[in-house]
């Protein structure tokens, strides 16, 4: 058995969605919607150590069990109680946490794949993705990021559920459009998913707009409908609302779901000159097709 294994997994951003989480079986819960996998992500390294517990680190800082619910849930789903020791799990995040970048999903997938390789569990890739999805659903950390990452690139989530149960199609790219993101802070996914008024606003808007996207699954349509979704659901803070509404006319903005962050869709770098946002907060993103890689 090798002593350490690392996997990198892409981050995933959602532009619009509909909550579909009432099924009894967690693998059948999820969301319809659409999003994009990007070339920033999360590297998860698991190594064997001498410890009576499993130690979990975020960017080099050891975290408590209450701060690592998704990772702990993946471990719980894959390993019997007697095997939950002598491991150090380290996540290195290239994207913000609790901000709509799908960091928990990327970390969950990386944990599942690294455990499978390190401990020679022999599970197929599809089952590992399903474990990550189940961990996300059970901890209310996300609904659609895992299947989005399973698809890769630009995706439309036609049917809710884990990979192998839900269904997706590629979103056809529209030449010329580029993506940047702006991050201001965190937003609790679990609080939104548990709020009846916010759930209703999301589902009322999502059902209508996702149908329009499915009828014309192109990236330019995704951009327009994501912007419309942002305005309809009103999950944005005053700061986010002001920033999106003050974008120059050559740029379209929409909230990243669910986060205190937003997309900037543009054609040329000159379009970004008039954005009144510090350049340190503006990240140019690249669409990522291959969402999981083993690191040496």
Q: Minimal CA–CA distance to 9: which of 128, 97, 105, 96?
A: 105
- pTM of the full predicted structure? 0.96
User: Domains in the chain: how many in total?
Assistant: 1
Q: How far apart, in whole angstroms, are the C-alpha atoms of residue 106 and residue 70?
A: 10
- pLDDT for the residue numbered 1: 59
Structure-block tokens of residue 63: 């975290």
The residues with which 133 forms a beta bridge, in sequence order, are none
Dihedral over Cα of 149, 55, 114, 160: its sign: negative
Neighbours of 65 (CB within 10 A): 11
What is the 8-class DSSP label of residue 87? E
Q: How far apart, in whole angstroms, are the C-alpha atoms of residue 257 and residue 100?
A: 5
Instruction: Kindly provide the b/e burial profile for residues 242-260, where b requires at least 16 CB atoms within 10 angstroms of the residue's own CB.
Output: ebbeebeeebbbbbbbbbb
∠ CA 9-14-20 to the nearest 5 degrees?
105
Structure-block tokens of residue 290: 């291959």
- pLDDT for the residue numbered 174: 86
Domain that holds residue 252: 1-296
Q: Which CATH number goes with the domain that contains 246?
A: 3.30.230.10
The residues with which 55 forms a beta bridge, in sequence order, are 88
- pLDDT for the residue numbered 248: 92
- Phi–psi pair at 116, nearest 5 degrees: -60, -40
Q: How far apart, in whole angstroms, are the C-alpha atoms of residue 160 and residue 167?
A: 7
Q: How far apart, in whole angstroms, are the C-alpha atoms of residue 42 and residue 90?
A: 10
Q: What is the chain's pLDDT, residue by residue, as a tens digit (296 residues)? A: 568 999 999 999 999 999 999 999 999 999 999 999 999 999 999 999 998 889 999 999 999 999 999 999 999 999 988 788 899 999 999 999 989 999 999 999 999 999 999 999 999 999 999 999 999 999 999 999 999 999 999 999 999 999 999 999 999 988 899 999 999 988 777 777 778 898 999 999 999 999 999 999 999 999 999 999 999 999 999 999 999 999 999 999 999 998 899 999 999 988 988 888 888 889 999 999 999 999 98
- pLDDT for the residue numbered 114: 98
- pLDDT for the residue numbered 192: 77
Asked if residue 131 lies in contact with residue 78, where contact means CB atoms within 8 angstroms, the answer is yes
């Amino acid at each position: 058995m090798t002593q350490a294994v690392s996997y990198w997994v892409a981050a995933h951003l959602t532009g619009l969605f509909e909550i579909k989480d009432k099924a009894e079986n967690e693998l059948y819960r999820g969301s319809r919607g659409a999003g994009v996998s990007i070339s920033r992500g999360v590297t998860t390294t698991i190594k064997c150590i001498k410890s009576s517990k499993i130690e979990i680190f975020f960017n080099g800082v050891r975290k408590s069990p209450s701060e690592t619910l998704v990772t702990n849930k993946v471990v719980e789903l894959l390993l019997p109680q007697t095997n939950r020791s002598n491991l150090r799990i380290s996540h290195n995040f290239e994207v913000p946490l609790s901000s709509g970048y799908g960091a928990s999903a990327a970390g969950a997938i990386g944990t599942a794949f690294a455990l499978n390789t390190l401990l020679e569990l022999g599970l197929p890739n599809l089952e590992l993705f399903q474990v990550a999805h189940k961990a996300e659903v059970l901890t209310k950390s996300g609904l659609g990021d895992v299947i989005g990452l399973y698809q890769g690139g630009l995706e439309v989530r036609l049917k809710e559920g884990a990979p192998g149960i839900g269904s997706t199609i590629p979103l056809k790219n529209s030449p010329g459009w580029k993506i940047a993101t702006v991050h201001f802070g965190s937003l609790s996914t679990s609080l939104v998913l548990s709020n009846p008024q916010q759930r209703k606003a999301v589902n009322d808007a999502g059902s209508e707009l996702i149908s329009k996207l499915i009828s014309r699954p192109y990236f330019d349509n995704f951009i327009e409908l994501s912007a419309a979704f942002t305005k309809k659901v009103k999950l944005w803070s005053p700061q986010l609302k002001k920033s999106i509404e003050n974008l120059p006319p050559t740029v379209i903005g929409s909230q990243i779901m669910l986060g205190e962050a937003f997309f900037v869709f543009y054609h040329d770098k000159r379009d970004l000159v008039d954005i009144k946002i510090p350049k340190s907060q503006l990240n140019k993103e690249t669409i990522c097709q291959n969402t999981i890689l083993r690191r040496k």
